[in-house]
Structure formats: structure tokens, C-alpha cells
Amino acid sequence: MYLITKWFGTFLLDKKEIIDKILFEKNAEVISNKLRKIKNQEILTEEKKLSKGKKVIVCEKRLLKIGDYKPTDPFLKKIEINPEDFGFTNVLLQKVSILLSKTSIEDKLESEDLQVIQMINTLDDLIQTTNLLSERLDCWSDISISGGRIKPLENVFYTINKEMKIIEKQIDKDMIRIAPNISKITGPLIGARLISIAGGLERLAMLPASTIQILGAEKALFRYKKEGGKPPKHGVIFQHSYINKANRSHRGKIARVFATKISTAAKADAFTKRDISKDLIDNLKIRIKEIRNL
């Protein structure tokens, strides 16, 4: 028997006909919620009910727990189930599609990694602001008659620094939850900057290690391509002590190894959700030691 889910219901079939079915409620919001669950790799209640106690063949990996996954089965390629035969119209499908698009955008806006990006961007803006304020304070304090006039600026400087520490703590907390492998390898702040430059955790996970290695060095890379000279060997990851405290002759090689481990960590955080940080760190330390002994 075959278990197949369409946008309007779940069906149990043999090679001749539909044996059983559970149609979804003809409500755009209800259907869009079910399709969202499918997108999130969840098994629907209808699917569990129809497959209970039966040996079924499925064509979706998300249904591996309840069926035998055979996506190349010839029958699955030729089977057609027409929604209009069950009273489901294209008008309803259009409403469902609009709702799905809307919720997809909302989910994206609420995505935790995008919140981290906003926080790291805000932190960088505040760092730039405090640098300017610090210069102004230094200049102003040199004037012997500044008196109480400088106090408001000192208060602003103190307040911004206090808020920066609060943001940093929140970034640390969020990064350890949503990207634990990256956080343990690079530290939460460097990891957050990498996610920010890449445009999200999944985007970072899809980048090759060679690109991760120079994230944040885009200006230097552009200058190299335009004017020649030496290409950048590292970007944001230079902030890590593994690289900035290394011998200059070793930095490029260490950066390559480091970026490779970050790439693996990002894939684990984005897709498998497994904590593989210990193995990555242990292997990274061995490789760095080998490079330093060259």
C-alpha cells in the first residue's frame, strides 16, 4: 500500500484504487497550517491514523518513521489524485498559497538568527558611537575650564557602554542556544558576526570554508581583485586568539583549518542540531599544533 499526502488530504492506495482517505477541512487557514507542518518535516495526525498497523510505502523522507521510503517506485510517479474530484478548487488553493507566503515571511522575520543579526549590527553601531564620544571626551577634558559642561557627555558615554554590555550578554545567551557548535568554537560574538555577514545561520552553513575564512574582509578582497597584490587570508575570524596570537607565517594555514571547522559546526547547528563541538575543538587543536611545529 502507498501513503500519499496532497495539499487537500492524505490517501491510502494500492496499485488500483484509493483504499482510504482523510480529506482536510475546506478552510484555507487550516490547510496552510497543515502544509506548514509538512514543510517543518512533521508527520500529520491524518498520516499516522491511515498508516497505523499497516505496511506502507512513502515518497517523503519525513515519513520514514511510519513507512518504507521508496521515492523511485514507478507507481508514485504516475499516480494522479485530482483535488476537484473531492470538491477542492483552485480558488481555495490560491488562498492557501497566499497564507503560506504570508506566514513564511512572518517566520523569517521572527527567526532567531535574524534577531542575532540585528543585535550584532546594533552593537557595532554603538561601538562606533562610543569611539566618537571617547575622542570628543578626550579633547574636551583637555580644556581646564570644562567644569560641569562635560558631565552630560560622560553620562551618555556611560549609558551606552552599559547598554552594550547588556546586548553582548543577550547575544551570548541567544548564540549558545541557536548555534552552540559555532559558539563553542569561535565564541558567541565572533560567531554572531559571521552569521550577520553571511545573512543568516543557514546561509553560513551553505558557504564553502574558503568563503567563511575571509568573511568580513570584503574590502580587502575587492582591492586585491582590482589592484592585485596579496589576497586576504582571514576576515572576522582574525579576532580569535587562535589566529591573532599565532606566528604570522602560520596564520593563513590556521585560518583555513579554523574556517573548515566553523563550516562543519554551522551545518550541525543549522540542520542536524547535534552537539559535535568537542570533536571539532579537539581536532582543531591537534591541527593547529601540527601547523605550529612545521
Averaged pLDDT for residues 42-57: 94
Evaluate if residue 276 carries a pLDDT over 60: yes
Q: 126-153 pLDDT, tens per residue?
A: 999 999 999 988 888 777 666 678 888 8
Structural domains of the chain ordered from first start: 2-109 (3.30.420.220), 111-178 (1.10.287), 179-294 (1.10.246.90)
Evaluate if residue 106 carries a pLDDT over 80: no
Please report which helix (H) or strand (E) contains residue 168, including its range: helix 151-178
Averaged pLDDT for residues 202-223: 89
Q: Is residue 275 very low, low, confident or very high in pLDDT (cuts 50, 70, 90)? A: very high
Distance CA 189, CA 116 (A): 10
Average confidence score pLDDT of the chain: 90
Distance CA 34, CA 59 (A): 18
Distance CA 256, CA 224 (A): 19
Cell of 31: 490547510
Cell of 158: 556611560
